[in-house]
Chain A
Amino acid sequence: MPRREDLESILVIGSGPIVIGQACEFDYSGTQACRVLREEGYRVVLVNSNPATIMTDPDFADATYVEPLDVEILTRIIERERPDAVLPTLGGQTALNLAMELVEAGTLDELGVELIGANAQAIATAEDREQFKAAMHEIGLATPASGIAHTLDEAMEVVERIGLPVVVRPAYILGGRGTGIAHTTEEFRRIARRGLDASPISEILIEKSIAGWKEYELEVMRDRADNCVVVCSIENLDPMGVHTGDSITVAPAQTLSDVEYQAMRDAAFACIRRVGVETGGSNVQFALDPSNGEMVIIEMNPRVSRSSALASKATGFPIAKIAARLAVGYTLDEIPNDITRKTPASFEPTIDYVVTKVPRWAFEKFPGIPAVLGTQMQSVGEAMAVGRTFPESLQKGLRSLEQGRFGLNCDPAERELDALSDAELLSRAAVATPDRPFQLEALLRRGVGVDRVHEATGVDPWFLDQMLLIVEEREHLASVGFEALSRADWRRAKRLGFSDAQLAYLWGVDEADVRARRLSLGVRPTFKTVDTCAAEFAAETPYHYSTYEEEDEVREGDRPKVVILGSGPNRIGQGIEFDYCCVHASFALREAGYETVMVNCNPETVSTDYDTSDRLYFEPLTHEDVMNVIEAERPVGVIVSLGGQTPLKLANTLPVELVCGTSPASIDAAEDRERWNALCARLEIPQPAGGTATTVEEALQVVERVGYPVLVRPSYVLGGRAMEIVYDEEGLRRAMEELAGFGSLGREGGLSAERPVLVDRFLEDATEVDVDAIRDRTGELLIGGVMEHVEEAGVHSGDSACTLPPHSLSPETILVIEDYTRRIADALEVCGLINVQYAVKANQVFVIEANPRASRTVPFVAKATGVPLAKIASRVMVGATLDELRAEGLLRDRVQGDHFAVKEAVLPWSRFPDVDSVLGPEMRSTGEVMGIDATFGLAFVKAQLAAGTKLPERGTVFLSLADRDKPLGARAARRFAELGFSIAATSGTAAFLEDQGIEVSTVVAKLGEASGHDAVELIASGKVDLVINSPRGRGPRADGAHIRAAAGAHGVPLLTTAAAGLAAANGLADWFHHEIRVRSLQEYHGGRGADQLSLPL
């Protein structure tokens, strides 16, 4: 069946900001979909609120709306664009839910828009637990005993019937939010209540727990002609009970016989057919009783998912791309397999390697949250590794995480487990935590046998025995020793995935010596190809992984090569923004005639799509692995400054002549506090006073000089890891201990003369400003954008909203900022991107820090201004001048004047209900959104809406503010009152407001040690529509915590700074005077469509 000719224009819905459970994988799927649909000649309209995505690059759609993913906004876009169809299956649960809302609102019918990819009935069958179970029983598939409840009473009845332990899952949620296992009635009540709250339709499924069973997933595709294929099977290392997003997973399934596998395959097909997914990809999850093979179906997602991104990368079969083609009418046999180019997509990939996915968590960012894994996903990113065997891929996967681990132990961090007795270790390993794989290895190394470990943990004996092979090899290596090791021994060690760093640790020698010795014996990696067919056919696509075998498959190239180092697994502070930069570099350099070589290990990303670069290496980003690629490819340059800290940290270990752009020495000069201070002094640029320290005493000396409060932070980290504002000696001592100790940071390197702590005077109430700029080799500087933060200095820039252009800075201040930026870039001899952060206090500009690399805001600036900064920077880094790029047309003037773009951070509070939702110097946001509109206020409100904070249009605003925030808070309150809102406040805040002549209709008790009850009761009563609560500037920040927790628990919009409160009030004022307008980036960038934004006066 060929392409549908009755469609002309298709709306693709993206997945919005990166949140836990929904990350870059939907940028990957959406980007593929947009690409394919345009190749097929359709007009593509895209909506996604996330500016950091590659899909929202204006080149990927005909009309790109960076607008809130809200049904009202979507309706406006549909009315304006009149697409023939909506494709909602590539934008995660967000897009699927939005599509359902549009269907239910009748919008699609009314406007004659067809839902393609999945129909409403299929979505409902898969998503509604009750319907799903009934459907599965109808086709003879078993599900765990269960019941549905809409109230707590109903829930209690169900559990009475099926018995504990049970799993509670809310309906219509993503990433397992609100799910949990209950072993006791008390636990059950709590989890059930939370689940009912989390579900948008207040419905939970209560299911008999099958924790300990083996868990599998099949990625399935179906076309209009009812052809079905399995793309990939996945087996979880962690048994049932841990969310699959938090499990170590392995492809293909390892311990299923063909009889069992084929039965599962039949069941998956029966499931997709019964659910009624007519075209596209779905993933189906199964659990198997290891004692008798009894199989139950757990769930299915009628859309592409995180697992399908993993399956695509694991097999070379691009599920999203093919799903998009299937949605417009093709059948699988009509679509070619990109990798072989000769065979069709109607086949099942077979692989000749093992893929291991390892999640990465951010528990260190959320003190007080136990690092225990369960049915609710908590990881923020993942790494994937490819090896010929499971031990090799597991070790590669663990070192890909970049958490200071060299592999499966055999590194300094393993000593943490030494103090534990066998029994303690065994009982710890019985609980799923991020440390479990290391505990398993330690247990096996102590001689606790596979069977005992299996019994305690439920991890399959096959996996454990494979780990035991690593243990045994380690013992052998240790006993033979570095000097005496034979070539065969070296080879066996490398084939089991041992890194040079592990061997160096084991033998107590330098990694460089290990490498030298290994190379002298001729033990080098070979690169194999991911080809979908286990070498049965020739592969055209150079998608490689390293392993230690006899044959290398890297082909010669005919163009100069540039290696681009990616950013590794997503983490808070380093995510999709950097992938955007790397992908743009690849596009720009390919276009400029280079052969681009991408190295990365994050399966969610666009950068690890084999279509993005000329060559793809799925490898850990460590010195050893990167050098292997460099030696295999012999590039003319390596780009280290676009992937965040990950590649930057490697810059010094690579051949210096290969590093493109700004030299590693300059990167150091900006990072080395003393050299940086000297540079600022020489340039006469004011800085907050400060110094460096490696001990508490040194820190105290600095403070003696500069005074409190001070900002304390480690060097060489991103995302404000462990950054803190301290107000007194006690705080300082605590902060230094945390940094020096064996905490998460200690693990990442600890303190040393090379990595001191920076201690700087903290400027209270200053406005923070971010600048992204590019300097070329001739010294010309391009200011990409000057961004003014909404929250005051002290809130991490990644967690702060910011606006481009600035809305309150004077033109003079901006000129000063631009001038300082130029001077700094010149002094650092920057060639490429530089990001400089400033604090502006009383019209004086202080420089906080400069980073000669891509920053998190590069994609935002590019979308706000229409200037492709990352592409320009990558060209500049390989020698082009801004003048040349201007002549080429790549560099164009930035669009400005008729719109504001506001970036807002999205925080994971709903995942961690026990964490205080207050902003600080440590970044904790997982993602970002952009609001774009004619005024700052409108853009701000849109950004809030996009971030999930729907500001109220009427009702009561409740304020409880720290003293220093009261003046600003009063301005916000006055504005809200003018807009017709009632004001409620705690007594202290109320007194201040009343002094200012603002009427306060409700006053609740001042917050005391154990009080706050009144405020909490007020919020719980539903009488408050917006909470503005800022923490006190000094002392423990827990004062307002229960107010913020109450807002979170009852779904009341919450702003935690007075500045945001004022911005919201101003924004709402604008909002009330305007109709909601939407406009595409293409229009903004082309200066078109402005008439539609004219204000009705």
Chain B
Amino acid sequence: MTVREASLVLADGTTFEGEAIGADPPSGVTTGEVVFNTVLTGYQEVITDPSYAGQIITFTYPHIGNYGVSPLDNEARRPHCRGVIVRDLARRRSNWRSDEDLDGFLRRHGIAGIAGVDTRRLTRHIREAGAMPGAFGTADRATLERAAKQEPGTDGRDLVREVTCAEPYTFRSPTAARGSASKRVVAYDFGIKTTILRHLGEIATVEVVPASTPASAVLERAPDGVFLSNGPGDPAAVAGVPEAIGELLGRVPVFGICLGHQLLATAIGGRTFKLPFGHHGGNHPVSRLSTGQVEITSQNHNYAVDEDSVAGVAEITHRNLNDGVVEGIRCRDVPAFGVQYHPEAGPGPHDARYLFALFDELMEAHR
């Protein structure tokens, strides 16, 4: 394979050397908001997580692609990220579960990437300067720099529209316990991950609805609970949804994850703010305040709920032990809770899967 030299240029002009991998974008330029993720395993799940819509994912672990890809590990039907940045892309995969190598997967899905990059330098830069737009590819530096500067980034953009389903559909878990099908959960799809569907599917029949679905249409489905999914971008830019959630609260138990948690907080009058560095890995310690137990969690968020803004209407149930950021809330007067992190894992540790059971209990109690 011949090396195709490529560069990465950030909006602030910082430049990195590398070589092109994955798909060939037209014009040799890929743009997006450059973010990083520190997981050691689970690149396929990250790449296919719709929360990364509009973003270029930097993997901090240098060897990516070692165990190939498996159709079982997709978090969505196709990747929604704009591109990937790695230090080294495995030429040969090795794992009995895989049926394709990562490079082929990226090409098949039209995702471009750049390898050979000093990803640690890039991560340190983003850590200090914040996630920022960037452009990479085989085009010349000037073209890339121009593209990076023109790229709008994700602030203030409603990216949910790009990833939510067009039509409602029903998800039934093939492995669900008998009897669980008697419950019905309506899941708002802001970019829902397959692993979340699998977990919800264990406790109920899941009816997935587009982000724009009005509360009335949800209630018509007579759900036992409403789930608010993860998703990409700035929670403040997702139009109409908090209002819909506001109408559902008190009428049906609600559980939100990540963006869903932020939208839940917004619905009860809370505010979100952009974190200086964001949380991007599979190793964040979260304290479950009711027990003092520590959960190691998978996280991917640049925004968080402002604690003061929900004071009085919700209690803080979980907190990040690294920086004290709110990781979970429970509404005081209505049956609703949310967590900022990813209890479903995929990728990541399984420590917080009990939250799905809690949702089940909450629905049971309000039947």
Please list the residues of chain A having a beta carbon within 8 angstroms of any beta carbon in chain B: 225-227, 229, 233, 252-262, 265-266, 290-293, 331-333, 342-344, 346-354, 388-390, 450, 460-462, 465, 469, 528, 533-538, 549-551, 553
Contact = CB atoms under 8 A, between A and B. Distances in A.
B39 A227 contact: no
B204 to A, nearest CB: 23
Given A226-B293, A348-B283, 4 more contacts: A262-B345, A332-B294, A351-B61, A352-B119
A351 B285 contact: no
B61 A534 contact: yes
Contacts of A258: 39, 41-42, 45, 73, 346-348
Contacts of A550: 16-17, 118, 121
A527 to B, nearest CB: 11
Given A347-B285, A350-B282, A462-B90, A262 B349 contact: yes
Contacts of B40: 233, 252-253, 261, 350-351
Interface in B31-84: 36, 38-42, 44-45, 60-63, 66-67, 70, 72-73
A462 B60 contact: no
Contacts of A265: 349-350
B349 A348 contact: yes
B141 to A, nearest CB: 15
Binding site of A, secondary structure by majority: helix, strand, loop or mixed? loop
Contacts of A349: 283
Contacts of A537: 127, 277, 322
Given A257-B97, A536-B280, A347 B63 contact: no
16 contacts: A226-B293, A233-B40, A253-B41, A257-B67, A258-B41, A258-B346, A258-B347, A260-B95, A332-B294, A333-B321, A346-B294, A350-B283, A352-B120, A465-B90, A469-B91, A533-B283
A353 to B, nearest CB: 7
Contacts of B281: 350, 533-534, 536
A534 B72 CA distance: 28
B6 to A, nearest CB: 13
Nearest to A288: B96
A450 B16 CA distance: 33
A551 B283 contact: no
Given A258-B42, A344-B285, A333 B92 contact: no
B283 A254 contact: no
A198 B38 CA distance: 45
9 A-B pairs with the lowest CB-CB distances in the bound complex, closest first: A258-B42, A551-B121, A258-B347, A465-B92, A534-B60, A462-B94, A258-B41, A550-B118, A348-B283
Given A350-B60, A388-B87, A256 B94 contact: no
B287 A388 contact: no
B294 A535 contact: no
Interface of B: 16-17, 36, 38-42, 44-45, 60-63, 66-67, 70, 72-73, 87-88, 90-98, 118-121, 123-124, 127, 277, 280-285, 287, 292-294, 296, 321-323, 345-350
A257 B294 contact: no
Contact of A350 (B61, B322, B345): B61
A262 B283 contact: no
B62 A256 contact: no
B341 to A, nearest CB: 13
Contact of B39 (A259, A350, A462): A350
B79 to A, nearest CB: 16
A737 B72 CA distance: 62
B67 A342 contact: no
Contacts of B66: 254-255, 462
Given A258-B39, A351-B61, A450-B92, A535 B321 contact: no
Nearest to A387: B62
Given A347-B296, A352-B62, A257 B280 contact: no
Contacts of B127: 535-538
A618 B94 CA distance: 30
A344 B322 contact: yes
Given A332-B294, A549-B121, A255 B95 contact: yes
Contacts of A257: 41-42, 44, 67, 70, 73, 95, 97-98
Given A225-B292, A259-B97, A333-B294, A347 B283 contact: yes
Nearest to A261: B41
Contacts of A553: 124
Given A266-B350, A534-B60, A342 B322 contact: yes
A553 B123 CA distance: 13
B92 A461 contact: yes
A316 B324 CA distance: 23
A10 B47 CA distance: 51
A125 B88 CA distance: 43
Contacts of B94: 255, 460-462, 465
Which residue, of B16, B17, B124, has the highest number of chain A Cβ atoms within 10 A?
B124
A216 to B, nearest CB: 12
Given A229-B296, A266-B350, A346-B294, A535 B60 contact: yes
A260 B63 CA distance: 17
B293 A227 contact: yes
A469 B16 CA distance: 23
Nearest to B69: A257
B67 A255 contact: yes
A551 B120 contact: yes
Contacts of A388: 62, 87-88, 120
A293 B96 contact: yes
Nearest to A390: B63
Nearest to B94: A462
B91 to A, nearest CB: 6
Nearest to B322: A343
A466 to B, nearest CB: 8
Nearest to B284: A347
A955 B287 CA distance: 64
B304 to A, nearest CB: 15
Which residue, of A256, A346, A465, A549, has the highest number of chain B Cβ atoms within 10 A?
A346
A253 B62 CA distance: 13
A549 B118 contact: yes
Nearest to B345: A262
A462 B93 contact: yes
B40 to A, nearest CB: 5
A331 B39 CA distance: 25
A260 B97 contact: yes
B123 A534 contact: yes
B192 to A, nearest CB: 19
B294 A259 contact: no
Contacts of A534: 38, 60-61, 120, 123, 281
B91 A465 contact: yes
A533 B38 contact: yes
A258 B120 CA distance: 22
Nearest to B60: A534
Contacts of A226: 293
Contacts of A293: 96-97
A450 B91 CA distance: 12
A856 to B, nearest CB: 40
B70 to A, nearest CB: 7
A450 B94 CA distance: 12
Contacts of B63: 254, 354, 389-390
